[in-house]
Structure 1
Amino acid sequence: MSRVVMAGMPAWGHVNPSLPIMRELTRRGVEVTYYTGEEFRAPVERAGCEFRAYPPGTISVAGIAEATQSGSTLRVVTRVLRATESLLPFLRDELAGDPPAAIAFDSNAIWGRMAAASLGVPMISLMTTFLVGGKDLSCLTAREWACFLGPTIRDLPRTVAAKQRVVRRFGKRIYPPSPTLPMRGDVTIFPIPRWLQGDDPRIDASCHYVGPTFPEGGDSAPDAELAAFLDEPGPLVLVSLGTLHAGSGAFFHACFEALGDLPARVLIATGGVDPAGLGRPPAGTLVRASVPQREVLRHASAFVTHGGMNSALEGLARGVPLVVVPQQAEQLIIGRKVAGRGAGTVLRHAMSRRPVPAGELRTAVERALTDPSLRVAAKEAGASLGEGGGAVAAAEAIQNRLGA
């Protein structure tokens, strides 16, 4: 029996797309050992994998969230490089006596790719996004570039120092080629539709765009209060900025102002913001820290989202028009791709640290609720998501590499 090791990132948006692929591999008789944070033990084991925890203090959900929310793309790279100093020796010690047939790794888990290079086994990259090129970033305005580059430039010395430490300690031979993140492998699996990827010279036969790999079954069942709210008549608007990008109190108050008197129910998931601190919501508005998003989207008529890859694809899979409020460049690109297909609207104010005007938010949501062309386009985009073959196609690509 072949054995594959998966080096994951401890973040839900990274773990979730990988689990259906790992489950499909185990169904085909491949033994999978999955390394990630302890909080992911249950879903990893439900996918049929052997779970192994990263040592405490190396990398965590909270650490990744803090780095992501900083607004600096290099803050995440620095955090990952520092974790690599501990996790690469840990993985090599774990695997030295029983090397796997291949190492799969999240495209941000540098330690996984370096462990594969060190052991001389095939490298399988699991992307959670697309390859971003200069043409993609040309959509940024001067003010957005300033907001993007400021925090990044400030973090540059720390990132360079962290990279130098890793290279000095482990050798340049096994360090990923530039740009460091996201990393490709001998096989690179993109759980996104091909239409989301722009033209890029790095795309070759090793890249497989399989479409989203949604977990089997639904989310956890909603509690009684939420279930009753979802069953009420009339359209439903879901507002969520995801698990890594914490919305601000000002944004959620703008949602109260913009959406509170709409002829619709409004469900707001605040993520890292305490709902109790927002005060009393308008009538017809329910505020929760988190919700079972895929289950809620079954009932939704419009989705106000940050445009993270998983959220955007989950909304389109349900045929729900999107109002994208991007917090970073990748999400702006996703939003523009969705809008280009006629399935959503982009409000890009947060890209330049400006508040989203309540009037513009209301107009965008009203259009999502009333313009039938958006729902038709969202359903068409959703219908295209299965064309790449999903987890089955991903597992076949990995097995073909193992066979080779």
Structure 2
Amino acid sequence: MRKNFLFATWAGGGAVPPVLSIARVLRERGHGVRVLADTSLHEEVAAAGLEPIAWTTAPQGDAADPAQDVIKDFEARTPLGAFARLRDRIVCGPAADYACDTLAELRARPTDALVAEHMLLGVLTAGEAAGIPVASLVTTLYPLPTPGAPPPGPGLAPASGPLGRLRDRVLTRLILKPWEKGLPAVNAARAAHGLPPVGSVVDAFGRVDRLLVLSPRALDHPGRTFPAYVRHVGPRLDDPAWAGDLELPEGDAPLVLAGLSSSFMNQHPQLERIAEALGTLPVRGLLTTGPAVDPATVRAPGNVLVTASAPHSAALRHAAVTVTHAGHGTAVKSLAAGVPLVCVPLGRDQAEVARHVELAGAGVTVSRNASPRTIARAVERVLHDPSYQREARRLAAEIAAETATDRAVAELESLTGAAAGTHAVPPDRGVRS
């Protein structure tokens, strides 16, 4: 039976393609799908065959353009400062604006389910106020504290024994504390639409019918437990619409695929150091700069082809190693192809992803300030130690099994199937729109 889905996303770089991938499959299965998104994403939304709808009061940005980036976390001097920008400029601060825009669209046309990138708490608030099924999409490792695992964020290894459990309890409190400053804005958005307050911002993330984690369960800590509404549905491996065609560097030496963030993270120095490192090795380098960096500005030796973009899924069929910032999308695509990694985390969730890659035995991590010599040694280590490829191939087999069926789409169709017809959205209560 045909259902109507409203998706909501924001200019969050690598978080966008997985969200649009699910929306596209639902459309191909005959459902009605429209997507609330920043205007900078509308071309990408349309390329997926979906209907884009612009935010009207919520923030509008372009993660590939530092002048138009809403968060500008590259200006922050500390990880806490970068987190505060995300909290205040996307997750909590504009929650009321996201809620109003979403409710306006829900009132405009029938909707059977609302599906949002999980950072958009204002969107989740609107869905709860409208009384329709709500699903949120986590496009990385599950980012909230749970039993059986260290607190997410710092990239910690699992601890054991009384001291380890004490470490986790203390650090969990420290990691959750900065969310408290966002709680008044979240509860103000909820009150404006007749909803009771939540006790914490973390509680607000759980006000959904389903939270779908678009990450391999095999990459997370094996002893970790999750809330009942959380489902691991496997990663999305689609390339973004702007990936273009594949051009490989000439020769038959081992191919190293290198690429950092698709959004701006002041990554130009790291790109040049990676290129210089590959220039000292008997390899071919394919370095993709992404939309945020002009490839013409990156100096590279003759064995490294620098291009704005390439379809990583196709390139990985030829690659022996990936050098990456450990963005979840690139890391998981590499593992799905059985390609081990050298991780150069720049910020955000990347240290956490890199740690999980290391714990799985499928790669190594070097500092964002690593010299070309250090990067080259890491590439040689991963290239010549067969254990890294063996573990990457093990994860590839587990990812293949996990993605053999489209669990995300099945969950969303099940969610709407449980509803009795199309939900009517309550009339406007006279709040700001």
| TM exceeding 0.5 | yes
SS in 2 for 1:179: helix
Alignment-mate amino acid for residue 76 of structure 1:
L
Aligned to 2:73: 67
Shift in Å at residue 297 of structure 1? 2.3
Aligned to 2:406: 392
Aligned to 1:144: none
Shift in Å at residue 274 of structure 1? 4.1
Distance in structure 2 (CA, Å) of the matches to 1:217 and 1:252: 20
Shift in Å at residue 330 of structure 1? 2.8
Aligned to 2:306: 287
CA contact (8 A) 2:358 2:364 kept: yes
| Match status 1:376 vs 2:390 | yes
SS in 1 for 2:201: coil
Alignment-mate amino acid for residue 400 of structure 2:
G
SS in 2 for 1:230: coil
Alignment-mate amino acid for residue 123 of structure 1:
V
Distance in structure 2 (CA, Å) of the matches to 1:297 and 1:92: 42
1:117–1:266 distance in 2 versus 1, CA, 3 Å: same
CA contact (8 A) 2:113 2:416 kept: yes
Aligned to 2:237: 214
CA contact (8 A) 1:24 1:392 kept: no
Distance in structure 2 (CA, Å) of the matches to 1:372 and 1:211: 26
Shift in Å at residue 379 of structure 1? 1.9
Aligned to 1:78: 88
Aligned to 1:118: 129
Between Structure 1 and Structure 2, the one with more helix by share is 1
Question: Which of 356, 359, 367 is matched with 2:370 structurally?
Answer: 356
Question: Which of 332, 339, 344 is matched with 2:358 structurally?
Answer: 339
SS in 2 for 1:215: coil
Shift in Å at residue 307 of structure 1? 0.8
Shift in Å at residue 239 of structure 1? 1.9
| Match status 1:203 vs 2:203 | no
SS in 2 for 1:286: strand
Alignment-mate amino acid for residue 358 of structure 1:
P
1:175–1:106 distance in 2 versus 1, CA, 3 Å: farther
Question: What pairs up with 1:153-302 in 2 under 5 angstroms?
Answer: 159=182, 162-163=185-186, 166=189, 169-170=192-193, 173=196, 178-179=201-202, 185-198=208-221, 199-204=223-228, 206-215=229-238, 220-222=243-245, 227=247, 229-244=248-263, 246-271=265-290, 272-278=292-298, 280-302=299-321
Moved more, 189-198 or 63-72: 63-72
Alignment-mate amino acid for residue 8 of structure 2:
A
Distance in structure 2 (CA, Å) of the matches to 1:291 and 1:19: 19
TM-score normalised according to structure 1 size: 0.82
SS in 1 for 2:105: helix
Distance in structure 1 (CA, Å) of the matches to 2:373 and 2:275: 11
TM-score normalised according to structure 2 size: 0.77
Where does the alignment leave 5 or more consecutive residues of structure 1 unmatched? 142-147
Q: CA RMSD in A?
A: 3.4
CA contact (8 A) 1:21 1:391 kept: no
Moved more, 317-326 or 7-16: 7-16
Alignment-mate amino acid for residue 72 of structure 2:
E
| Matched length | 385
Alignment-mate amino acid for residue 53 of structure 2:
R
CA contact (8 A) 2:142 2:213 kept: no
Where does the alignment leave 5 or more consecutive residues of structure 2 unmatched? 64-68, 158-170, 419-433
SS in 1 for 2:40: helix
Distance in structure 2 (CA, Å) of the matches to 1:176 and 1:264: 54
CA contact (8 A) 1:102 1:402 kept: yes
Distance in structure 2 (CA, Å) of the matches to 1:84 and 1:218: 29
Distance in structure 2 (CA, Å) of the matches to 1:255 and 1:216: 23
Distance in structure 1 (CA, Å) of the matches to 2:238 and 2:133: 26
CA contact (8 A) 1:136 1:333 kept: no
Distance in structure 2 (CA, Å) of the matches to 1:197 and 1:298: 25
1:292–1:130 distance in 2 versus 1, CA, 3 Å: same
1:9–1:175 distance in 2 versus 1, CA, 3 Å: farther
Aligned to 1:92: 103
1:275–1:394 distance in 2 versus 1, CA, 3 Å: closer
| Post-superposition CA distance 1:179-222 (Å, at most 9, x none) | 26865621111111112233555432x22212112238997443
Shift in Å at residue 65 of structure 1? 5.8
